[in-house]
Structure 1
Amino acid sequence: MDGPVMVERDADAVEIGAVIIGDELLSGKRRDRHQAHLTEALAEKGLELAWVRIVGDHAGRLTQTFRETLVSGAEVFSFGGIGATPDDRTRACLAEALGRPLAPHPDFMALLEERFGADAWPHRVRMAELPESASLIPNPVNGIPGFSCERHHCVPGFPVMAEPMARWVLEQRFPDRDAAAGAVEETLRLENVTESRLVPILEAMEAAFPDLRISCLPRMDRNAPQVELGLRGPRARVTEGQAALRQHLIAGGFLSH
């Protein structure tokens, strides 16, 4: 079976996604903490999270999710499902999505045998059965690694382990990036204005600055409508966009000089 065709992206256009796995998240038994930790770690590299998928332990749905994320060309962090119990399906589902077999990773096998001896068999060794060509992600907490394969970086569902492992991956993948490489955001709050009145201005801004993310967040304060306008993107373009936005608002009577 042939694997998916991965999209190649420009080196400066990095898309980051996350797949967070577990029925317990969908049922409400546990609350997700991975998104917040990953967002913080990405910010330190001047990167942002583009999307998040929360998926249960259903094998077919998880495999389909990986098929879709693989062809996106994104760097994807996958949280959970890499243990040794029957509901840990990340390895098998990613391998199926890739069209590759599972195979014992020799370094992982050696680590398990050294640490657990005969107790590594027959269950713990399942954790070392990884998609062909996978590489290991070190685990500083308990020493049981995660793995990377085709821009997908699979770490445990325990946040105390997942967070340092994700940071290690980011350092390996983006060693020369820091927070200064990231986008900046500027906001402007308007009083006694409803967002519907700003639609023509926002449309004009989107046409003039397609490379910026323009947000419009309505607020209520003491029964008076407010709107917070935001521009996010490269610093120079945000500065340029903010000046243009102010001119539009002045012309429309929403701001004074």
Structure 2
Amino acid sequence: MRSTRSPSWPVGQDSPRSPSTPTWPDGPGPWWDGSEHVLILDARGEPPPSEALAAAVAELAAGRVVAIPTDTVYGLAVDPFRPGGIQLLFAAKGRPRRIALPVLVADEEQAESLVGALSRSARALADRWWPGALTLVLPRPADLSADLGGDGTTVGLRCPAHPVPVALCRAVGPLATTSANRHGQPPAITAPALALALGDSVSLILDGGPCAGAASTVVDCTGSDIACLRQGAIPWEGILAAFPT
């Protein structure tokens, strides 16, 4: 296993080897973390650096777990249609399979390629808050082959307001994701914190700088009326504002 208990250092420089007072370098990578190295690539900028995106696409295509920045917190991502990726993601997180994985999409069109036409309420919310910190829980179509866990009746979709996951979704397709933390622990909002907590469970970390830190708001759109499953970055009043009377 790759250790993440040592500080990072720039490629080409010797490790500082002072475990009692670990420090992280400032500025863009790439950095190597730990004695057996977890690569952290700088992904800051809009558009993000093509080299970082290409490396992430290659890892995702191989069915591996990539840690990515988003507009909320750092996330762990896999291609849900690659064999073995979902199992690795559940294992990295320590997440019970009874809790389904949400999916990131590039836009409404990609969302509808997964679940079909959005309901009127889901479309109103997507039009108002996508891209952004809103996860829509929708009925799962019978022909969606990805095993996302849960009871298989619903799927949570989100279009993030961050160039890295959007670019990856455009290159790879929808991504199964979960916040970058062990189950039950606080999510990581910086790449160094992520590396210390989960570096031995991921193949690559894209460093987008600090994330906002507020989780997405989750809204159930499976019934005739919407329901708040989790209030996050978007207050419930903002959700209701998508439905003017």
* TM-score > 0.5 by shorter chain: no
**TM bucket, shorter chain:** under 0.3
Q: Which has the higher contact order (CA 8 A, sep 6+)?
A: 2
Largest Rg, 1 or 2: 1
More strand by share: 1
More helix by share: 1
TM-score (structure 1 length as normaliser): 0.25
